[in-house]
Structure 1
């Protein structure tokens, strides 16, 4: 019978050349038996939360990092106890290939080919090594859902998250939930006594702190760096157009009532997105990229439509691949999936890269207009304002109409003022009179 051996799994490069990730939660504990490609952890890169699959089948011998810890790529995070195949230092056979981690940690190789597997972009440290077992006590698998800043706040206040009920989306524990616990709230008597003792130990200045410090990391850190780079690299120009969108809103109501769109989620964003895709056919310069390194203008012959989404971990801009090929039904489905995935914090790295033009819907916050910053590598971004009922000139009279302001920011290196203005004008024309689409396609 083969003897067990310890193999170490190091944090892989999860794509885009990212150098570190944060352990969000372990899905396994020391002593658990895991199978090949079983999800063992959730880690957060600078762009997204990624599920990490096991590269081995065996028993978890050690978890080297606690949740909330930021780990550099290449550092060991978990050790497995597996059966030694007795191969020693010989070349790996087919069975060994099934157990070795593959490129960037997105699953293990399931089949061995007749030629050596390419190791491009893998780290030398990624190959498992023989190490002595290091026993680390793992946290409970069913730990309360919270973000690293909230866990830090709870730790600073001496609050046990096990006694906190989350009021955020899907039971997420928020900062207010933690602060409310310090005051006792509606906790069971035993929990109130426990929290009260903790609060007394903290001192009189805990409640109503004069300042709170939150580490800048993860998605927020990446977004901030990207926005600074964009704002100070691309010469931004922003133009505004206020449009009577009453006909578009009437069309939206008719579509919602039709059997064809039964079960689909239709919003003003759906129709505006479709109008943007149509307008780009006549104004392709807004769907381009300035390549500084090669000194070239890259014209995209497809549209990966980015949609800015506010998530618990910060602003992200996932994009719909080849959105220009979708029907209105397909676009509605894609938008719904994109927003639901983003709000759940499950957007993958692939959906956050490769965008060609973006839309941000600030109207959902009751905002009329703004000067949106370009998503890095894109030529334009459109902000949708709130739809408001306002006095408006209509058929030579003043009437209450539904009005929206469009804010278009573009890279003046790629888009001239005339090109940006004509794009915005065409967009406004379609929203003011959707029937004009027939004259534009």
Structure 2
């Protein structure tokens, strides 16, 4: 066995796993290790963002990090190697079997690592057949006589560099290269966010790399110069034409926002939506919220109107269990569910997500409050797991926290109904025959008309309103 073969066997590659349910890619948000660092089985090595959530990936090997194959900010296909680990560092330096300047070839029939497999959904599935697109050759870029810069290795792998017949003369100042500009992925993202065309930037980095400083310099306003008189013959700009390029920003749609957009389009044009509205006096419910905050059984728990709206929704579903269903298009069946996984729409820095409380219909009010608080806190931290966002049956969206009266919510895909809870406002209301100031809100219920007809949807919404108007029904009906 040659030394290079032995080194290749020591280098174990950790491939991007399917950290969700059938997801095909994930973006590397942050590396927690660097080449040369010692890692142990189960140690978190990086954080990635999928279309559903941010997830920390543990190493399945013990050893020393040999190489990171992708920079932060790069989206990687499931099944692609993202890190190499030398599992026997005491045997001397490990070298890959292939030449350093050639693309790495996948190991043939490599046995599974002895270390523990990462505890992730779908880990161990066959690698994706998707391959990275080969880079096009740049005929105008001369071959470098010195060793290739380490930061360019990933860029140059798989791309032919054609040398000119005669050496190019040394330019007195950096010039903008022909062809595709050289820049690392984070620099490309920065340029895109700032609206800067990389082809217009003169690189100052080693080997003609465009650096972050180059991008910031290009984005900085030009220094003021004393205006010179323009020739009288200069043609004026066309009337009515405005250059909007400097006042627009383009942000790639990816991760949670991309998944949400696709899901909403699919839902809106697949399930026939019907939305009904009801305005209700919730004065008694708001008083009950204040009383529960003083209840010893609710000590340390977050008690708010959303908690009682959730409980009212669950009690109403218990009275009308037919609404808790799903449409199976493939088998042309309606699937009735004897459990309620209550989704809570949560706005996060990464976009809208809808984690759900499992078996919410059988939980006591204190337990429901505890899990609701944990769900919201985890979502805001960006740590919601993919499992927490799957299997929902119905959802609540609290638009009232933004001062909005109500809306026409779109169903979460695969669910039968979604309830919008509007702002609670002090309004004139007829109460016991007299106009009084009462706390009033508007509820909107959207439902899948294939599963729920107008009568059933109306009864469900009316029951929710009746409970919130007279919350003692939580006891008599629950």
The verdict on a shared fold, with TM-score over 0.5 as the criterion, is: yes
The residue that corresponds to 1:15 in the other structure is 20
Find the aligned partners of 2:405 and 2:347 in 1 and give their Cα distance: 18
Matched, 1:413 2:435: no
The residue that corresponds to 1:254 in the other structure is 291
Question: Of the candidates 263, 271, 294, which is equivalent to residue 308 of structure 2?
Answer: 271
Uncovered stretches (5+) of structure 1, i.e. residues with no partner: 108-118, 126-133, 139-147, 160-192
Q: Is the 8 A contact 1:288 1:379 kept in 2?
A: yes
The residue that corresponds to 2:48 in the other structure is 43
Change in CA separation of 1:10 and 1:403 when aligned onto 2, cut-off 3 Å: same
Question: TM-score, normalising length from structure 2?
Answer: 0.71
Question: Of the candidates 437, 445, 463, which is equivalent to residue 400 of structure 1?
Answer: 437
The residue that corresponds to 2:104 in the other structure is none
Find the aligned partners of 1:257 and 1:104 in 2 and give their Cα distance: 42
Question: Of the candidates 337, 353, 374, which is equivalent to residue 316 of structure 1?
Answer: 353
Q: Is the 8 A contact 1:63 1:135 kept in 2?
A: no
Find the aligned partners of 1:195 and 1:84 in 2 and give their Cα distance: 40
Change in CA separation of 1:136 and 1:394 when aligned onto 2, cut-off 3 Å: farther
Uncovered stretches (5+) of structure 2, i.e. residues with no partner: 92-107, 130-147, 153-184, 197-212, 225-241
Change in CA separation of 1:394 and 1:102 when aligned onto 2, cut-off 3 Å: closer
The residue that corresponds to 1:215 in the other structure is 252
RMSD across aligned positions (CA): 3.5
- Give the superposition deviation at 1:16: 1.1
- Give the superposition deviation at 1:324: 1.1
Find the aligned partners of 1:339 and 1:221 in 2 and give their Cα distance: 21
Change in CA separation of 1:27 and 1:137 when aligned onto 2, cut-off 3 Å: farther
SS in 2 for 1:401: strand
Q: Is the 8 A contact 1:379 1:410 kept in 2?
A: yes
Find the aligned partners of 2:371 and 2:403 in 1 and give their Cα distance: 24
The residue that corresponds to 1:367 in the other structure is 404
The residue that corresponds to 2:127 in the other structure is 123
Structure 1 residues 151-209: Cα deviation after superposition (integer angstroms, max 9, x where no partner): 935775599xxxxxxxxxxxxxxxxxxxxxxxxxxxxxxxxx99996754678999994
Change in CA separation of 1:99 and 1:85 when aligned onto 2, cut-off 3 Å: farther
Structure 1 residues 389-408: Cα deviation after superposition (integer angstroms, max 9, x where no partner): 00000010000000010000
Find the aligned partners of 2:300 and 2:35 in 1 and give their Cα distance: 45
Change in CA separation of 1:194 and 1:154 when aligned onto 2, cut-off 3 Å: closer
Q: Kindly tell me the number of residue pairs found equivalent between the two proteins.
A: 374
Find the aligned partners of 1:373 and 1:296 in 2 and give their Cα distance: 22
Matched, 1:298 2:302: no
The residue that corresponds to 1:338 in the other structure is 375
Find the aligned partners of 1:431 and 1:408 in 2 and give their Cα distance: 15
- Give the superposition deviation at 1:106: 8.3
Find the aligned partners of 2:188 and 2:128 in 1 and give their Cα distance: 34
Question: TM-score, normalising length from structure 1?
Answer: 0.77
